[in-house]
């Protein structure tokens, strides 16, 4: 499986990418998760990324493409990958195509999760994440067994700093302006797959798998 998952903030990219990658036995590569880890570890990459993320802006293309290029060199990525939140600009999409062409492992599909704005606001407002292992929950739609506690590792759940209402609005605007044009990019390449991202998590996973068949 060599796919990218696209869609607005809160569309369920991370939720679906984790399931699809586990099923296919390939790595789930989330540039957002990679940046958040760098922020937690206080690396130079983290320090640079934090300023952009806190305002809902995109981290510069050359930085983002650099970490993706490195990640694709790791052995596990030879089996395939599920990208989540990358690419987000035309420059990133073109760079990914070049890197994959060099590796002779082109993309098989770009999956767009289609979710209306009202639903996105509800999803992000109720999202809780595990600061330790990265697991994602929703207070209403995907609650942990014990409120506020991670099922996987027992850590206390938190809200993502960029899930504040104002930042969400900016992230949505950035998505429309900079990332939505990639839908046409992948349609023109003949690999766009559009999937209804509303409905239960399991049902969305099934729709994606069906659409990829
Ligand atoms: P990133 O981490 O990629 O955030 P995002 O695109 O805004 O997307 P989210 O992670 O918020 O949403 P998601 O689609 O993964 O949804 P989730 O599965 O969590 O990026 C963060 C920042 O990093 C960017 O703003 C930027 O600064 C930087 N960055 C990252 N990549 C970059 C790049 N390539 N270039 C430049 N900068 C970059 O689901 C959301 C909630 O809904 C959860 O609570 C979940 O439990 C719930 N949910 C999921 N599915 C369902 C369902 N079917 N029904 C009900 N609830 C559901
Ligand atoms: Mg995510
Ligand atoms: Zn955890």
Residue 65 lies in a domain: no
Give the mean model confidence (pLDDT) for residues 1-8.
Answer: 97
Query: How many independent structural domains does the chain possess?
Result: 1
Q: Which residues of 108-125 are buried (b: 16+ CB within 10 A; e: fewer)?
A: ebbbbbebeeeebbebbb
Q: Is residue 192 part of a domain?
A: yes
In a domain, 83, yes or no: yes
Per-residue pLDDT band for 12 (boundaries 50, 70, 90) equals: very high
Which structural domain range is residue 183 located in?
Answer: 2-26+79-115+167-212
pLDDT digits (tens, 9 = 90+) for 159-179: 999 998 889 999 999 999 999
User: What is the pLDDT at residue 164?
Assistant: 87
Quote the DSSP letter at residue 104: T
Calculate how far, in angstroms, residue 85's C-alpha sits from the geometric centre of ligand 2. 7
CA–CA dist 176, 98 (Å, integer): 24
Residue 107, in any domain of the structure? yes
* Residue 11, in any domain of the structure: yes
Query: What pLDDT score was predicted for residue 207?
Result: 98
pLDDT at 134 over 90: no
201 part of a folded domain: yes
Q: What is the DSSP letter of 30?
A: E
Spatial separation of the C-alpha atoms in residues 105 and 2, rounded to whole Å: 8
Mean pLDDT of 114-123: 92
CATH number of the domain at 15, please: 3.40.50.300
| Ligand 1 pocket check for 141: Cβ under 6 Å | yes
What confidence tens digit (pLDDT) does each residue in 19-47 have? 999 999 999 999 999 999 999 999 999 99
11 lines ligand 1 (CB under 6 A): yes
Is beta strand 136-138 parallel, antiparallel or unpaired with respect to 127-129?
A: antiparallel
Mean pLDDT of the chain: 96
Output the 3-class SS for 112-178: EEECCHHHHHHHHHHEEECCCCCCEEECCCECCCCCCECCCCCCECECCHHHCHHHHHHHHHHHHHH
Mean per-residue pLDDT for 52-61?
A: 96
User: Which residues does the annotation mark as catalytic?
Assistant: 13, 88, 127, 160, 171
Per-residue pLDDT of 69-103, as tens digits, reads 999 999 999 999 999 999 999 999 999 999 999 99
CA angle 93, 173, 117 (to 5 degrees): 105
What's the pLDDT at 165? 86
Atom nearest to 30 CA in ligand 1: 3
| pLDDT the model gives residue 85 | 97
CA distance 106 to 144: 37
């Amino acid at each position: 499986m060599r796919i990218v998952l696209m869609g607005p903030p809160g569309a369920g990219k991370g939720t679906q990418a984790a399931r699809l990658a586990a099923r296919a036995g390939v790595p789930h590569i989330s540039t957002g998760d990679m940046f958040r880890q760098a922020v937690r570890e206080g690396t130079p990459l983290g320090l640079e990324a934090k300023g952009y993320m806190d305002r809902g802006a995109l981290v510069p293309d050359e930085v983002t493409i650099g970490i993706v290029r490195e990640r694709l060199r790791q052995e596990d990525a030879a089996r395939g990958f599920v990208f989540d939140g990358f690419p987000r600009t035309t420059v990133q999409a073109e760079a990914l195509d070049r890197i994959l062409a060099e590796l002779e492992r082109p993309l098989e599909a770009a999956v767009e999760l289609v979710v209306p704005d009202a639903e996105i606001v509800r999803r992000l407002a109720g999202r809780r994440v595990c600061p330790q292992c990265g697991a994602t929950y929703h207070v209403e739609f995907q609650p942990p067994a014990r409120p506020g506690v991670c099922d996987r590792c027992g850590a206390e759940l938190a809200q993502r700093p960029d899930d504040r209402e104002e930042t969400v609005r900016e992230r949505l605007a950035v998505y429309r302006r900079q990332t939505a044009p990639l839908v046409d990019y992948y349609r023109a390449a003949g690999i766009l797959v559009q999937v209804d991202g509303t409905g239960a998590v399991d049902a969305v996973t099934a729709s994606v798998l069906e659409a990829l068949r």
